[in-house]
Copies of this chain bind each other. A is one copy, B any other.
Amino acid sequence: MSRLDSMIRRLEAQRTTLNDAVARVRDRDGVALEFGLGNGRTYDHLREAMAGRDIYVFDRQIAAHPDCIPPDDRLYLGDLFETLPRAVADLAGRAVLAHMDIGTGDKAESVALSRRAAPLVAQLLAPGGVVVSDQPLDGMADFSPLPLPKGVKPGRIYLYERI
């Protein structure tokens, strides 16, 4: 499989799983969270799929396409472990969906970062809220794995429910 093939598979898994997560929380009140804005592609997708819902975005710095930059009052900019406690003070228990896409390029480092952030992300989520993550959070106290949507190969992306 070429890098072009794997990129297409990764983006398709991301889209299918995000759409599934959005459908799961369609009838619930609450905000959404995007961890790792990057170029803004998945933020743009969530913004379309969850029109009218507030999406709060976390990133170290803005590197997104100008059309994909969130409004200032929904942006937590800076180190995740400085912004997450602030967000917990603002939004505890109010999120019904979180997309965690905070990979650094180094696999072990990305897993460690996601697992370190997860307990704080859990504080932001309402019970029954869903998490789409590019890294595994298996075995963590607050998260229970959900079945991946049809066509998404296990290990390509992860889906959890906030217990």
The residues of A with any CB-CB pair to B shorter than 8 Å are: 2-5, 7-8, 11-12, 14-15, 18, 39-42, 44-45, 47-49, 65, 67-68
Contact = CB atoms under 8 A, between A and B. Distances in A.
A4 B5 CA distance: 16
Contacts of A40: 3
Specify the main secondary structure of chain A where it touches its partner.
helix
Contacts of A5: 15, 45
Interface centre among A3, A8, A12, A47 (most CB of B within 10 A): A3
A67 B42 CA distance: 27
Given A2-B48, A48-B2, A41 B11 contact: no
A68 B39 CA distance: 22
A99 B24 CA distance: 42
A-B interface, 10 closest residue pairs, ranked by CB to CB distance from nearest: A2-B45, A4-B45, A3-B44, A3-B41, A4-B41, A2-B44, A2-B48, A8-B11, A4-B15, A4-B42
Contact of A8 (B2, B3, B12, B18): B12
A8 B14 CA distance: 11
Contacts of A67: 3
